[in-house]
């Protein structure tokens, strides 16, 4: 069972609330046309909990590890392999024609009053990534099977939330060296609202929609309590006026129907009043809703102009639903899903920021909300990219199809034939085996030649009690044909390393 599916299966899914977003494009209702097959599956958010055994695999021998020009001392937490380190310098978000960079800019434009950060180093402290956000010591996200550690105190960020406290503290203390990293810091260098776009790293399975490096966008929006008090007062007056025949502030863009309740299961924090929470939640949901509608509208327009769908067959409404969630650094918390072309897509996690974070940052008089979402999933939809590995391709037939500021549907170039190889083995008796060790080992050996790794058989021998596994490895190059001989050499190396590094017995 793949980790993401398993973790999501554990998630508590109470009655969905429904938020319907509509945008003005004539009288068309919600129409579903033949859904493009876009393999976009959910990645386990950092909200889930389950226990995993640590693994001793992927030990790295040398005493220091060089990451982006800095040498870090290694220890027995070090588990970041060279193939992953190589990704830290790729900077896809800085290539103006790259689909992920185009999407990033699109979102930056949706939040013109926020500071925009997109060049914060992926190397962060364990404190930044976990402790500063209130992650419990035994949270599974901290385990070596899930996270790439440089050493015990340093890791490759697993999410952009790692920068929340650091940036808020820098804003509150006016640390210019940090604030100057914002792309648009000229008008308001100490802006308490910001977006962070960045590469994030998680040990994960391999398939068309999972890759151990992906990109996230974090949004943090804070308000002074005084400002919130004024806004609540104004809203109450406006409501009273509308009841007595005053101006009606109906919203043409988004119609919201939202049945989630802030209560025992998804509680507000004792530091906040019910009015403050109601204000923050409404403001946050509206902002996210508007952003998603804007982006999906552009996706539909791109499909229409490429002739992929006709104007009459395209989607005009995007129902959004909110699902109660748990994150250590927000409460209440939700995940947002949107219905796009017949599929519910998990877009992001969000919630009211834990007040401890703002207090620690030196902003006890402010309250706020935060969201975080993966860029790949939306970019796959927006640009019609069906395999997440393509984002890492430097093949001109991929990169040459895009240009800055433009959304267009990717025209797949001819697929090169794939080649499947199976490997069966007995697990070691003292088993510390974790599936992600296989994933890393295969990727480390075969690089981007590996298209997917799938468990196809698993059983326990009735007499010896030994566990057996069979994995199917699919090899396929994005840009050339591979020969069977070439793949045999790679497969042999994979088998050899499995024995050496994971202690399995091949069958
Ligand atoms: N960092 C969370 C994740 O990666 C998403 C998130 C961000 C949730 C901000 C709430 C607020 O799963």
Tens digits of per-residue pLDDT, 86-134? 999 999 999 999 999 999 999 999 999 999 999 999 999 999 999 999 9
Minimum-distance ligand 1 atom for the alpha carbon of 373: 5
> Among 45, 129, 217, which residue has the most ligand 1 atoms within 8 Å of its CB, making it the best to mutate?
45
Q: What is the mean pLDDT of residues 287-312?
A: 79
Minimum-distance ligand 1 atom for the alpha carbon of 158: 4
pLDDT of residue 340: 79
pLDDT of residue 320: 87
Say how far apart CA 357 and CA 29 lie, in whole Å. Answer: 43
199, HSE (Cβ side, Cα atoms, 13 Å): 23
Protein residue with its CA nearest to atom 7 in ligand 1: 372
Q: What is the mean pLDDT of residues 253-265?
A: 63
> Among 7, 46, 326, which residue has the most ligand 1 atoms within 8 Å of its CB, making it the best to mutate?
46
Structure tokens at 389: 């590995």
pLDDT at residue 20 greater than cutoff 70: no
DSSP string, 313-367: GS--EEEEEEEEEEETTEEEEEEEEEEETTEEEEEEEEEEEPHHHHHHTT-TTEE
What is the overall mean pLDDT for the chain? 82
pLDDT of residue 26: 27
Which of 215-229, 306-320, 479-493 shows the lowest per-residue confidence on average (mean pLDDT)?
306-320
CA 320 to ligand 1 center in whole angstroms: 18
Radius of gyration of the chain (CA): 24
3-class SS at 389?
Answer: helix
DSSP string, 222-256: EEEHHHHHHHHHHHHHHHHHHHTT------SSEE-
3-class SS at 65?
Answer: strand
Which of 73-82, 331-340, 426-435 shows the lowest per-residue confidence on average (mean pLDDT)?
426-435
Query: What are phi and psi for residue 476, nearest 5 degrees?
Result: -165, 135
CA 346 to ligand 1 center in whole angstroms: 12
Percent of the chain predicted with pLDDT > 90 = 51
Protein residue with its CA nearest to atom 10 in ligand 1: 350
pLDDT at residue 479 greater than cutoff 80: no
CA 36 to ligand 1 center in whole angstroms: 28
CA 417 to ligand 1 center in whole angstroms: 38
Which of 52-56, 143-147, 286-290, 391-395 shows the lowest per-residue confidence on average (mean pLDDT)?
52-56
CA dist list (Å): 77 to 62, 81, 401, 441: 13, 12, 41, 17
| Dihedral (Cα; 323, 326, 331, 332), 10-degree rounding | 20
The pocket around ligand 1, CB under 6 angstroms, is made up of: 45-46, 159, 161, 218, 327, 330, 333, 349-351, 370-372
pLDDT of residue 88: 96
Protein residue with its CA nearest to atom 4 in ligand 1: 159
pLDDT of residue 242: 61
Minimum-distance ligand 1 atom for the alpha carbon of 350: 10
CA dist list (Å): 332 to 159, 165, 329, 351, 366: 19, 19, 10, 6, 17
pLDDT at residue 143 greater than cutoff 50: yes
Could you tell me whether strands 115-117 and 193-201 are parallel, antiparallel, or unpaired per DSSP bridges? parallel
Find the largest Cα–Cα distance for the chain. Answer: 81
The dihedral built from the CA positions of residue 242, 243, 246 and 250, taken in this order, carries a sign that is positive
Burial (Cβ within 10 Å: 0-12, 13-18, ≥19) of residue 113: exposed
Say how far apart CA 377 and CA 107 lie, in whole Å. Answer: 14
Protein residue with its CA nearest to atom 9 in ligand 1: 371
């Amino acid at each position: 069972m793949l980790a993401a599916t398993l973790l999501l299966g554990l998630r508590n899914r109470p009655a969905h609330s429904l938020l319907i977003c509509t945008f003005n494009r004539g009288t068309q209702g919600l129409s579903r046309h033949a859904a493009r097959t876009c393999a976009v599956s959910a990645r386990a958010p950092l909200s889930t909990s389950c226990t995993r055994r640590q693994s001793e695999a992927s030990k790295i021998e040398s005493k220091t590890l060089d990451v982006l020009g800095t040498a870090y001392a290694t220890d027995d937490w070090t588990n970041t392999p060279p193939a992953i380190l190589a990704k830290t310098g790729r900077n896809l978000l800085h290539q103006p024609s790259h689909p992920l960079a185009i999407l990033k800019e699109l979102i930056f434009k949706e939040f013109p009053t926020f500071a925009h950060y997109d060049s914060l180093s992926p190397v962060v402290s364990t404190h930044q990534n976990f402790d500063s956000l209130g992650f419990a010591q035994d949270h599974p996200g901290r385990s070596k099977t899930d996270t790439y550690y440089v050493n015990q105190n340093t890791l490759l960020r697993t999410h952009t939330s790692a920068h929340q406290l650091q940036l808020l503290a820098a804003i509150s203390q006016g640390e210019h060296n940090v604030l100057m990293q914002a792309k648009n810091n000229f008008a308001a260098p100490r802006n308490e609202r910001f977006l962070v776009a960045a590469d994030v790293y998680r040990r994960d399975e391999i398939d068309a929609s999972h890759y151990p490096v992906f990109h996230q966008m974090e949004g943090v929006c804070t308000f002074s309590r005084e400002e919130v008090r004024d806004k609540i007062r104004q809203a109450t007056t406006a409501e009273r006026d509308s009841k007595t025949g005053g101006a009606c502030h109906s919203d043409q863009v988004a119609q919201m129907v939202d049945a989630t309740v802030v209560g025992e299961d998804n509680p507000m924090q004792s530091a906040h009043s019910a009015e403050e929470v109601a204000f923050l939640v409404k403001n946050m949901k509206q902002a996210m809703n508007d952003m998603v509608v804007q982006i999906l509208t552009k996706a539909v327009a791109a499909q229409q102009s490429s002739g992929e769908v006709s104007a009459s067959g395209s989607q005009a409404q995007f129902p959004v639903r909110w699902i109660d969630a748990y994150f250590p650094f927000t409460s209440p918390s939700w995940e947002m899903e949107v219905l796009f072309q017949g599929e519910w897509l998990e877009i992001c996690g969000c919630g009211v920021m834990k007040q401890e974070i703002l207090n620690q940052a030196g902003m006890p008089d402010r309250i706020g909300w935060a969201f975080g979402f993966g860029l790949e999933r939306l970019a796959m939809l927006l640009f019609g990219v069906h395999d997440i590995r393509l984002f890492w391709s430097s093949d001109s037939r991929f990169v040459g199809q895009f240009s800055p500021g433009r959304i267009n549907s990717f025209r797949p170039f001819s697929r090169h034939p794939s080649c499947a190889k199976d490997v069966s083995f007995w697990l070691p008796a003292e088993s510390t085996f974790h599936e992600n060790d296989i994933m890393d080992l295969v990727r480390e050996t075969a690089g981007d030649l590996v298209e997917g790794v799938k468990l196809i058989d698993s059983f326990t021998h009735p007499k010896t009690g030994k566990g057996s596994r069979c994995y199917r490895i699919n090899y396929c190059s994005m840009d050339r044909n591979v020969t069977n001989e070439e793949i045999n050499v790679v497969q042999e190396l994979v088998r050899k390393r499995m024995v050496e590094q994971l202690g399995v017995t091949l069958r």
